[in-house]
Structure 1
Amino acid sequence: MDAREAYSLKLMSQPTIYDKKAYFTLTWIDGSEYRSSIYSFDGKNSERMTFGGRESSPKFINDDLYYIRSDENTDHLMVLRRYSEPTEIFSYHKILKYVPYLDGIIAIVEDDPGKSTMFITDRLKYRFDTRGLIWKKRKLVYFDGTFHDLVSGNFDVTDIETEGKRIIFSSTQTDDDTGLEDVYVLQDGKIEKLTEGQGSISAVSIGDGKIAYAGHRKGLWPPAVSNLMFPEEGKEIPIGKGIGNILLDHFVEPPVKLKYSKRFYTIALDGGKSAIYSYTNAVKKETDIEGTIVDFDVSENEMAYIYTNFEKPSILSFRGGEFDPNNVKGITADKNEVDGLDYWSIITDKNNPTILFVHGGPHASYGNAYYIEFNYLASNGFNVIFGNPHGSGGYGEDFAASVIGDWGGKDYEELISFVRDAKDKYGLFDNFHVTGGSYGGYMTNHIVTKTDLFRSAVSERSISNFLSMCGTSDIGFWFNAIENAVKDPWISENQITLMKMSPIYHVKRVKTPILFIHGENDSRCPIEQAEQFYTALKINGVETKLVRSIGDSHEHARKGNPENMRKRLELKLEWFKSHSK
């Protein structure tokens, strides 16, 4: 498999059921561009509905198909009526979400920032990864032939839903700098806040008069598990091991969705897989597959869902049939357990070199899904090990929170135990390498300061200096402090604590050759993090290279420039091969 073949996938998302068909967005890479169109599936046959190659977000309103068509600088809300050509309803710089309301449409939108050579701010959150500099906030508008601003200010509207006259929305109005959110009701021009305390909200919904959201009220607490919340009733319903999904390396990201159709439906984690759950008076598990649910829709008594597993990147299940847009079969990983911890292995040959992958987060998790990179490296003669040490999501909040103040402690020991267990179990040759991104990049940097077990390392969008990241990352000023159990990063003794927990503090111990790959426009883990470690290694005579992915953000490995993503795979393969001899 070459890098172009690795990214030749077609991925489905945004299913919506209408008139015995499931409509969905199909996304693929065409040369150096992402393409997408709307398709339908009736349980047997699929049909392409739009042909521009930049369409997404299908929704039926009054029996007509609505969708968003995007060009370089503008989103257009389109309608495709039966036996007619698509027509435009309205356009905006960005349309994030839309739903029908009264005789028009309500939508979360973002204004065009215009052109300026100077950016001035007095906010802590003045940039955000993938958004870049925040020139304009996301607001709620109503369109009935004319635009009406409903909710706007120096904050973002993050989700909307409606039932009749009431509009339910979430926003960062209370604390935009840290992104804390609340749920509000807008009716007859009046806004009422429903949530108390502080917390995070990933989706809102309303059904049968009940308002619900997926989230928590635990303030700034990254390990917090999202539950099903009913703010008007003061109820909190745990769903699975937490609402959300496992980490994928696909270029289509699984959404957090909360949908009402006689019951409230959502996706939740359970170890290394996810399922659809529903709730009215009790929680019910609606799916039980060996894989990961990516997206879904429910309507009356029908359900459509998209899932992935080790062998298949994207499958749509609907009305007893399945649609697979790819002719791909991935390698099934073996599930293993060490001291009650899950890890997986893809063993191509016991004499082949073996790569340990470390996921991001740290509160993300790996599981039963098709991984582009794992299959690429396995097809090119490598074994792959990946797992969920303490700190990972999907095993409860206590498990996720266990690494707070202890990054590189028990999680390091457990990652090494995965390697040792696989070596003994499969009789692997002593030829190991390590890689990871974000927190996984931190762990890669940390690991090579602790051991010479690995012949080489590839560190992506990594962390090397917690202290400098507090002042340069879009969320570092609060995230780093919490994750390192430091209340105030600017007190001298706490600065010493942050430095001692940083790989750069221990760089003199490093002997392992390291390749750094980093998005030039990464706001989450700014590129200065890679620059520091790279420079220190060069000065100390350790073999190293720095790759700057021009134009890419923290998502450079998942949703970056397609040519850069292909080149990234080739560079990693070349690095591992050259250090495996």
Structure 2
Amino acid sequence: MTKYMTKESLFEIQSIANPVLAPNEQEAVFIRTHINEKENNYNAHLFHIDLESGEITQWTYGNERVSSPQWSTDGKQVAFLVKRNEKQQLYILNRRGGEAQEITTLPNGVNSFLWSPCGEKVWITSTVKKGLDITKEEEKEDTKFPKAYVVDKMKYKADSVGLLKQDRYSQIAAVDLATKEVNTFTVGNYSHSLQGISHDGKTLVIGVNREENTDNVFRTPLYLVDVDTKEETVLIEEDGYFGGVEFSFDDRYIAFGGSDNTFRNATHGHVYIYDTETKTTQKLTEMLDLPVGDYGVADIQQGVSAPSVMWTENNDLYFQVSTQGDIRLYYATLEGALYPASPENEHVYGYAIFKNGNRALLTVSNGTFPGELFDFDITTGERKQLTTFNEKFLNETTLSEPEAISYTSNDGLTVHGWIMKPAQYTEGEKYPLIVEVHGGPHTLYANTFFHEMQLLAAKGYGVLYVNPRGSHGYSQEFVDGVRGNYGDGDYEDIMAGVDYALENYSWIDESRLGITGGSYGGFMTNWVVGHTNRFKAAVTQRSISNWISFYGVSDIGYYFSEWQMLADMNDVEKLWHHSPLKYAANVETPLLILHSERDFRCPIEQAEQLYITLKSMGKEVGFVRFPECDHNLSRTGIPNLRLERLEQITGWFEKYL
């Protein structure tokens, strides 16, 4: 019997991600994540696949989340991270089976790890309190006599973390697998990250910033460190974000991903190559006016972690590129040849490359396909589906097929997006249309599966979602086009999309338009209802309403405002001009405000200001607060509250549309 998408479909859809190829290239592991309805949480388990026979075996079970699987160099073991007691620790499984062995029992657990190629030790990072050894337990805080939190820096809190412990640092250590002895490798009151290791095991790449105060420092230098002598060589130390280091098979070249600070956080990601012989670095993708990496937004894939770049044995490279609404696998040579290696109209959200470069394992999604694991022949384009975890759901559920559109905005800019008909569409009927606006703003809607969009279509709405200026995946000029001018060209792009839809799709009822979005999409929803009365209902989520207060209350406010608005507290006129709160008196659209109470990115006071202001003016407004949740409620939030959020959205539109 055919059914339509419901909010409870979240419990049926499974996320297949993070394929890791074994050294023998005859087998692989991957992670399957699903929502555990009974426990109201997420379970992520390790699976093994024999690539020749196609046989799939589940390797871990229970109410837990496994992450970061890595094969040992000899292919006999797989290490992974999982929280089985209080802290996340390192475990190792023998590929022939048996119980996973707990390798670490560190008081603060393990944050990340890398196998040493010798197979006898594993490099790890763990959080350490100032003055303590990595293996020493901290004194338990007395909850009866809580301590005050003294703030002396501007970077003192973070979304999904809370207040930062100022005297804690991430240190690198080596764990001897035979004895389980932990030997600290780094020292000093600075946080260190593990970025990569050479195939001969002699060189680590670490990230560390040794500035005393990093409030206005936006770089983490990468260093090559000799494992024996600890001698450091700078790999890169410019402003921006760099990481995901991979050594070529011959250890001559080091590839890494990153973006400099030219356009602040709107700068395109690129692939960089360091030659250890000539000691020179080149930006391999300089001629590509697209961002390297996966900037797609969706709500199904869980715990996705794809490599920044992967080498072949011939010193060619593969990496992801966000382009025109796709996330594609790209191929490059050191000489500068560069072209897409996977098809259009899909989202490659995970990959593993065979050494010869002719074959890959891919996890792939599209607008009507949540994602599975595929074996992909890069030379012929043929692919074989290896997993069918979502087959039952797909066979039973009627979905709406997103149709790609492009149109011209008011100033001649071409904007790309999608429109979905209601899932039970009947020719000749009229239907309401809901406009969705993504966050970021430097992300993109993509050719990927979106439960929320399908749910709205199942409820009888058309759905329009577009990539206005500020979105990734087009050009550097396009993604930079919103900075300093939120609510201008981006607003025009969205409204031009509405006009395009009304002109070209006669099934849309112009008198029943709705709009919703989160984060930047929440800002834009607030802005829209303050600047037009065309929408009959709106739902704003985790939004910004007041740039002046956002500057001081957001975990990133003091620099994000300067980067994005090109204004700080010395120019409150500009901050206020771009604040939706300024235009509250104009709002005539019934507005529902949804916000998480632990959102430190766009703190809940942004919602509180907007709600009280609109309510005091006698406007039609609702406000729903979600306890225990942060900025990522819609994607990774507590499952029952994700359902409540969807119910609130659909209920509001049902009431007013």
| TM, length-normalised to structure 2 | 0.84
Partners of 1:251 and 1:563 lie apart in 2 by 18
> CA–CA distance in 1 between the matches of 2:189 and 2:450?
39
Change (3 A) 1:406 1:215: same
2:310 alignment partner in structure 1: 259
Opposite residue 127 of structure 2, the aligned amino acid is E
Q: Distance in 1 between matches of 2:552 and 2:354?
A: 47
- Aligned residues of 2:18 and 2:306 also touching (Cα < 8 A): no
- 2:87 & 2:393 partners in 1: Cα distance? 34
Distance 1:510 1:83, change over 3 A: closer
Matches within 5 A, 1:116-515: 117-118=146-147, 119-135=149-165, 136-144=168-176, 145-151=180-186, 153-163=188-198, 164-173=201-210, 176-177=214-215, 179-187=218-226, 188-207=229-248, 208-218=251-261, 221-231=264-274, 232-238=279-285, 241-245=290-294, 246-250=296-300, 252-255=302-305, 257=307, 258-262=309-313, 263-281=316-334, 282-301=337-356, 302-318=359-375, 320-322=383-385, 323-326=387-390, 327-329=392-394, 330-339=399-408, 340-348=414-422, 349=425, 351-427=430-506, 428-430=508-510, 431-486=512-567, 489-491=568-570, 494-515=571-592
Distance 2:569 2:269 in 1: 30
Question: Which deviates further from its counterpart, 432-441 or 101-110?
Answer: 101-110
- Supply the distance in 2 between the matched residues of 1:556 and 1:451 (Cα, whole angstroms): 28
1:82-121, CA deviations, whole angstroms, 9 ceiling, x for partnerless residues? Answer: 2432211113434332111253111233358854633333
Query: Using the alignment, how far apart are the partners of 1:30 and 1:272 within structure 2?
Result: 31
Partner of 2:411: none
Q: 1:86 to 1:71 in 2, by over 3 A?
A: closer
Range 368-377 or range 253-262, more displaced: 253-262
Task: Find the partner of 1:68 among 73, 81, 98.
Answer: 81
- Alpha-carbon deviation of 1:526? 0.7
Question: Which deviates further from its counterpart, 323-332 or 306-315?
Answer: 323-332
Q: Determine the C-alpha separation between the residues in 1 that align with 2:539 and 2:362.
A: 35
Structure 1: 5+ residue runs without aligned partners?
Answer: none
Alpha-carbon deviation of 1:185? 1.2
What's the RMSD between the two structures over aligned residues? 2.1
Bigger mean CA offset, 225-234 vs 31-40:
225-234
Q: Are the equivalent residues in 1 in contact too, given 2:207–2:222 (CA < 8 A)?
A: yes
Report the equivalent of 2:36: 30
CA shift in 2, pair 1:72/1:440, >3 Å: farther
**Cα deviation digits, residues 197-224 of structure 1 (max 9, x gap):** 3111242222232122111222670110
Query: Displaced runs of 4+ in structure 1, greater than 6 A?
Result: none
Deviation at 1:152, TM superposition (A): 5.2
Q: Please name the residue that 1:57 is paired with.
A: 68
Contact preservation (8 Å) 1:474, 1:524? yes
Within 1, Cα distance between the matches of 2:401 and 2:186? 48
Gaps of at least 5 residues in structure 2 are 129-136, 377-382, 409-413
Instruction: Choose 439-448 or 196-205, whichever is displaced more.
Output: 196-205
In 2: Cα distance, 1:159 partner to 1:438 partner: 31
Please tell me whether residue 11 in structure 1 is matched to residue 15 in structure 2.
yes
- One-letter code aligned to 2:13: L
Residues 152 and 538 (structure 1), Cα distance of their counterparts in 2 relative to 1, 3 Å cut = farther
Q: Specify the alignment match of 2:100 in structure 1.
A: 86
Q: Distance in 2 between matches of 1:14 and 1:229?
A: 23
Q: Is the Cα contact below 8 Å between 2:155 and 2:555 reproduced in 1? A: yes
* 1:153 CA displacement: 4.8
Cα-to-partner distance string for 1:200-251 (whole Å, 9 max, x where unaligned)? 1242222232122111222670110010113542311225711122112225
Which residue identity lines up with residue 241 of structure 1 in the other structure?
Answer: L
Residue 104 (1) aligns with residue 121 (2): yes
- The 2-side partners of 1:524 and 1:189 are apart by 38
Partner Cα distance (2:612, 2:16) in 1: 42
- Alpha-carbon distance in structure 2 between the residues aligned to 1:359 and 1:514: 18
Q: Give the 3 Å change call, closer, same or farther, for CA 343–221 of structure 1 in structure 2.
A: same
**Cα distance in 2, alignment partners of residues 95 and 240 from structure 1:** 38
Contact 1:37 1:53 in 2 (8 A): no
Report the secondary structure of 2:17's partner residue.
strand
Query: Matched residues in 1 for 2:347 and 2:60: separation?
Result: 28
Say whether the 8 Å CA contact 1:225–1:243 is kept in structure 2. Answer: yes
Q: TM-score, normalised by structure 1?
A: 0.94
The one-letter code matched in structure 1 to 2:195 is I
SS of structure 1 residue aligned to 2:89 = strand
Take 1:530 and 1:305, find their aligned partners in 2: how far apart are those partners? 40
* CA pair 162-310 structure 1, distance change in 2 beyond 3 A: same
**Identity rate of aligned residues, in percent?**
25
